[in-house]
Amino acid sequence: MTNVSRRRLLASGGAAAAAGATLPLWTWAPSASDAGTGKGLDPEYVWDVLADPVIERLYGEGTDKVAEVNEILRGWTTNDQPLPEGLPGYLADFIEEARALPAWADQGKLKLAGTFNEERYGFFLALLYTLGSGLISCAIKREAWSVYYSYGGSDMRDRIAKTTVLGYDVMDAQGWTATGRLMVDSVKTRMVHAAVRHLLPQSPHWPHVGAGQEIPISQADILVTFHSLGTWVMKKFTEWDIAPSKELADAFLHAWNVDLHLLGVQDEYLPKDWAAAYAQYDQVMGPATGATREGAELGQALLDSVIGEGNPLLRHELESLGRYVIGDAYADMIDFDKDPVLAQVWAGAVPLLVRSYQGTVPNIPIISNLLPEAVHTFIKIYFSPGDPAPITLPLSNRPE
């Protein structure tokens, strides 16, 4: 799989061209990126030129070989750990190259970004990532389809939560240290994405979904997911009037850019500043989102597994809080409850809570109590799915 120019794809006709026809022309320029220069190809038609052929070759050796690699990599967990023996040479070479931080990674900024998880922003980051980005991911059409029909679709909460948790860990200073796991987890995730590109087109369901996309998880798709996490959260911080200092906000973006690089996104697509990030967000988010049956099911599965099936009152409360957080457009796409009375409650309570965190109104317990314990519990459970399962290459698509 190589980079394919938009023109060539359009000229070749077929499903990908049909998808291209529904998308606005790619205008975001590489001059707005960290790299400052690049080919400027539409990332809709760029996948992972390094990882894809390597993973393709591994799957060509058979499922037993993939399972063996999973077993070998199980014990490879921390950033400073040498790769275990026994991997095929071509795979080891790829991982050694992929695990290296880019030359432009700035340890000072990564450390500063790590302060985000601390008290001042920690609660809001967790709230916005779980009841915000986690739900929006269900309204991202291709993400919903690919998660649903790939192996992880059989345990949907685990799947969605892992994406959010990786995103949350990007703001964890410990994640980037020698004994942290972020670099390893990101490279493993990059390999899983390449595996999905290999497996998912073999699913009998894939030709009917994907909005005409033949090969899933393009660079554009990964950027969309990043924007649903990092950029959307930063927009929300600004909207809620708790935007961090410029220095901290820049460090937040830098940490994301380093992680996107580790996930295989080319540097020419990494926004150099927030203005460039917002411009890219505006370009990619709209066409990527919409209502799908799979996305609505994912949203419900997410609630089921966090609060348990049944519990209709709590579910209704969380659905309406989720609606307040993500807004009506996304909430309608995933068919979340609409409750005008609760909508008023959240519209009053959340800003007060935000201001009490800021210290501009006293921290009156009644205000904190308006955001019920259930929300704290939701966040806690969401982020701790028990013993975290290791990231492994899927051996198949979702079992029928």
| By the rule CB under 6 A, 217 interacts with ligand HEM | yes
**How far is the C-alpha of 215 from the C-alpha of 392, rounded, in Å?**
20
**How far is the C-alpha of 117 from the C-alpha of 119, rounded, in Å?**
7
Q: How far is the CB of 263 from ligand HEM (least distance, A)?
A: 6
Give the binding range for ligand HEM (CB under 6 A) out of 32-40, 158-166, 247-255, 297-305. 158-166
- The secondary structure of 366-380, three-state, reads HHHHHCCHHHHHHHH
Give the binding range for ligand HEM (CB under 6 A) out of 77-85, 140-148, 235-243, 270-278. 140-148
| Residue closest to 158 by CA, chosen among 314, 374, 388, 334 | 388
206 versus 324: smaller Cβ distance to ligand HEM? 206
Q: Tell me the Ramachandran region of residue 375: left when phi exceeds 0, alpha when psi lies from -120 to 50, beta otherwise.
A: alpha
**Binding-site member from 79, 117, 130, 146 for ligand HEM (CB under 6 A):** 146
User: Looking at beta carbons, which residue is closest to ligand HEM?
Assistant: 152
Beta-carbon neighbour count of residue 217 at 10 Å?
25
Q: Are 48 and 264 spatial neighbours (Cβ–Cβ below 8 Å)?
A: yes
- Taking CB atoms within 8 Å and a gap of at least 24, the contacts of 369-378 are 370/345, 372/317, 374/307, 374/314, 374/317, 374/318, 375/127, 375/131, 375/318, 375/321, 378/130, 378/131, 378/306, 378/307, 378/318
288 versus 318: smaller Cβ distance to ligand HEM? 288
**Binding-site member from 147, 173, 187, 209 for ligand HEM (CB under 6 A):** 147
Measure the CA angle with vertex 206, ends 205 and 208; round to 5°.
75
Three-class SS of residue 57? helix
- Count residues near ligand HEM (CB under 6 A): 25
In order, the DSSP letters of 66-129 are: HHHHHHHHHT--STTPPPPTTS-HHHHHHHHHHHSPPTT--HHHHHHHGGGGSHHHHHHHHHHI
**Binding-site member from 54, 128, 183, 196 for ligand HEM (CB under 6 A):** 196
Site map for ligand HEM, 261-300, x if CB under 6 A?
--x-------------------------------------
| By the rule CB under 6 A, 45 interacts with ligand HEM | no
203 versus 320: smaller Cβ distance to ligand HEM? 203
Site map for ligand HEM, 93-132, x if CB under 6 A?
----------------------------------------
Q: How far is the CB of 145 from ligand HEM (least distance, A)?
A: 8
| By the rule CB under 6 A, 213 interacts with ligand HEM | no
98 versus 192: smaller Cβ distance to ligand HEM? 192
Give the binding range for ligand HEM (CB under 6 A) out of 12-20, 219-227, 310-318, 361-369. 219-227
Which residues contribute to the site for ligand HEM (CB under 6 A)? 142-143, 146-147, 150-152, 159, 162-163, 166-167, 189, 192-193, 196, 216-217, 221-222, 225-226, 263, 391, 394
